[in-house]
Amino acid sequence: MLLGTLEKYQSDFFPLLGKSFQKEDFCKIDLNANTPNLDLESIQTYDGLDFYIQQELKRNEAKVGVGGYLEKRVLYQQSNNFKNEAENRDIHLGVDWWSSAGTEIYAPLEGRVHSFQYNELHLDYGATIILQHDIDGLVFYTLYGHLNIASLGNLEKGMLIEKGSVFTAMGNRTENGGWVPHLHFQIINNMMGKEGDFPGVTSEKLLAEFSENCPDPNVFFVY
pTM: 0.95
Cβ contact 93:70 at 8 Å? yes
Residue 76: per-residue pLDDT:
80
The DSSP H or E segment spanning 64 is: strand 64-67
Domains with residue ranges and CATH for the chain: 2-220 (2.70.70.10)
Q: Phi and psi for 49 in degrees, rounded to 5? A: -65, -45
pLDDT in tens, the chain (223 residues): 899 999 999 999 999 999 999 999 999 999 999 999 999 999 999 999 999 999 999 999 999 999 999 999 988 876 565 555 456 789 999 999 999 999 999 999 999 999 999 999 999 999 999 999 999 999 999 999 999 999 999 899 999 999 999 999 999 999 999 999 999 999 999 999 999 999 999 999 999 999 999 999 999 999 9
Dist. CA 160–CA 131, nearest whole Å: 9
Dist. CA 83–CA 95, nearest whole Å: 21
